[in-house]
Structure 1
């Protein structure tokens, strides 16, 4: 009976989390749009690239085609050893909106994306800054215009959605599902006045906010975290707004192999220990509850109360499918909905494996 009670308590905790997530999943885009200016604020679009020549050839034209009336494109070459700089210079010759920041390694900030980004931000003319990655394609020509509409005197931090392109295979589905789950969480926390992270593939903030908090200086030596650690430090319930209009999404090419994906996720996950303690506690409790739920379900199957346990499991699964399903649909990932439970289990196992790997050896570079 104790095992059944324990399953009930853990299930209740998980339901509370899904209720939190429902704040995003069931909300309308119109409810999130707080500010529509009469004129468009000028924007600096900033992209940091390291050995990204081919991606830049594909995406620079898409960025320049944005229908925002007043923007500049800051391209940062972060000590590339391919022809990234040459690609940037070729485009800059034909478009005066492009500015190039050519960053060379130095001993103090060797291979530091944050150092390169800081130099790019200093080169920006405009106060409103929007960031994406070199491999990110905007979902529409209205991306930059729609994102910038959320800036106001109060709202100086924009959290957007950066998804991954659809392809065949279980790895692609897992990457997209993990991205959806991460987005549902950070959007939901932000809507509940507890913003804790964002993704560099689609984020915006003002130079005033950046300089007010001394940029990335508090975590400059951490390889990752130019996005989530910065947001975790500076975001408040008043200065942060989420942007979930499908026209503002960006899409990246996902990793093609399990090894490459694991390396990427190990780097990303390593920043979580630098979050505020309250955020670490909330995120850790959710993950631990999911692990404990599976263990308790298995143990309850060997007790006389297994039928009641199955009813509890069924209720949790239905509620999870409903909340995450609506969230996935909102993020234009409906094909993932039938596989939510399977992908959630696979993601849980993968995250446990990555956590164990990071406990043994730490990732040291962003690329």
Structure 2
């Protein structure tokens, strides 16, 4: 279609690096590197489906080299494969912004990491994504083995986000089951996915993956305590935001254990144990926010709702992880 439009040096098509919205698991955009016109690529640094910078979420390794879930797919899977393409004119970032509501952050560390590394790599692709990342680590005061640990934390954040929000094992249909500050549940957002998981006999596999995500976030929290960032505020936020992610994905892990088992018709002591752990994770999360001013605002245990009269998206008060878990809480109490 674009071949009908004359090429011009001042005409660029702005195209996301993903084939739809800025989600993991969706394909690399197949229109990149194709056609007569120059292209500038959009990259989101504060991703509204993945915490919005309230917890670590490094994506530039995947944007440049291809996310782990792209392995084995044909064709280009990252911007590094297009650096010699005559169409590729550059990159621009959503450094902040994306989505409609919270979490609202007090520190831009994780947005800054994504933005700065993306810009540094674009300016000198020969440096490689890892070289650009190392330059950022030096910029924030890390040297020697601390750089390696910081990179390990960053890559774990990508792995933990994939397994906690999405899946590395099966296709997730409702990619927006969490978005902004809202957590969906088995009463609306996850119905189609849960039906497919139960029908395929993959309940235990799905729950094992959420448990794996929670363990990954435990590793991230451990690493965060070892990293002496130069700026004291950033150093404190590194630790607080890592714990924020650990709380978020613990809520998801234990919430899924209750919801998916209940959806499959189970009523067991395992569900009761995870219900207690779910409540404990929420308690730890609230204490984190109460004790640390740098902590981002918390998620709500409700689904993404509709616009109010002022044009602001509100929570759906009747659906979400909270009402879903409470339904099984009531069943278990009987």
Same fold, judged at TM 0.5 (above): no
Q: Which has the higher helix share?
A: 1
TM-score of the two chains, using structure 2 as the length reference: 0.27
Q: Relative contact order (C-alpha < 8 Å, sep 6+): which is higher?
A: 1
TM-score of the two chains, using structure 1 as the length reference: 0.25
